[in-house]
Structure 1
Amino acid sequence: MKICLMIVVAAALAGNSWALDRCSVVRAIRRGGLAGIKGYSLGDFVCLAYHASRYDTSLHRSPTEYGIFQINSYWWCDDGKTPGRKNVCRIPCRNLLNTNIADDVKCVKRIVSDPNGLAAWEPWKKYCRGKNLSSYVRGC
């Protein structure tokens, strides 16, 4: 009986994590037309998703960062509470926390069109910029 209770508790605690597999992320990014924008490769975006969230679409790491790409609520989405929010992507932040990442990809496309491009993300600058990223898309 104790084992069953422990399993139920563990499942409840882990129940809000929705990590996608790498190839699902690759397909979503391809469908969204991100590869090639401003010279960024498919690998750049997959590497960003990995290092921002480990492909966890439900990640809400800080009070202002949402989803697989950790999109910030001050500029890009509306969380209903961040002061001075802009909501440039015109999306509720909660929509970035599910396994359908088409809206996340669309928002990233908008973010990348700004002058900072992918350099807006620290994980991309630290782990992806200037690296061989072929392993992120290989086999997909």
Structure 2
Amino acid sequence: MKTFFILSALLAVASPYVYEKCELARVLRNNGLDGFHGYSLANWVCLIQYESSYNTRAIGRNSRAGQIVSSDYGIFQINSYWWCDDGQTQNSRNGCRRSCDDYINDNIADDIQCAKSVVSDPQGMNAWYGWKNNCKIRNLDNFLRECNL
């Protein structure tokens, strides 16, 4: 029984928080992303849908020739080569000056600040393949209709 309790406690701590779309839209709007650098709130939510499926602790690995070259962290999938330091990616630029571990918890305030830096870069939202391949080409006028924002 004691082992079960400890295992349950560990699983509870390690469980990610997965936002609902409208809940996330409200958080992003309240943190100044609606219209930031000309991108609508729908673009931000769509980006997150395709990058992390609204999961605050998502981690993606990027490989070339079978070798991991960088990783993406958190709800925005912040890249370890360009934007954060994971201690594993060679020659990390660490543009947001933070550890990648900062982006895989349920507090997304620092994730939002880094995402603002990413989108302020000349590539804008094209820095995210999830947005470029799934949202950029779509009419997002009705994407958040059910959210009553």
TM over 0.5: yes
2:16–2:106: 8 Å Cα contact kept in structure 1? no
Give the superposed CA RMSD.
2.3
CA contact (8 A) 1:28 1:102 kept: no
The residue identity in structure 2 corresponding to 1:118 is: M
Matched-pair identity in %: 43
Question: Matches of 2:18 and 2:141 in 1, distance apart?
Answer: 21
How far is 1:18 from its partner?
2.1
Q: Which runs of 5+ in 1 are unaligned?
A: none
Which of 89, 92, 105 matches 1:82?
Answer: 89
> Residue 138 of structure 2 corresponds to which residue in structure 1?
131
- Residue 18 (structure 1) aligns with: 17
User: What CA distance in whole angstroms lies between the structure 1 residues aligned with 2:142 and 2:45?
Assistant: 10
Cα distance change, pair 131–21 in 1 and its aligned pair in 2 (3 A):
same
1:26-65 equivalences under 5 Å are: 26-62=25-61, 64-65=71-72
One-letter identity of the residue aligned with 1:30 = R
Between the aligned partners of 1:80 and 1:130, the Cα distance in structure 2 is 35
Residue aligned with 1:47, SS? helix
Answer 1 or 2: higher relative contact order, Cα 8 Å, separation at least 6.
1
Which residue in the other structure is 1:71 paired with? 78
Distance 1:55 1:135, change over 3 A: farther
The structure 1 segments of at least 4 consecutive aligned residues displaced by more than 6 Å after TM superposition are none
Question: TM-score by structure 1 length?
Answer: 0.83
Higher strand share: 2
Shift of 1:38: 2.6
Q: Tell me by how many angstroms 1:67 deviates.
A: 0.5
The one-letter code of the counterpart of 2:30 is: R
TM-score by length of structure 2 reads 0.79
Task: Give the gaps of 5 or more residues in structure 2.
Answer: 62-69
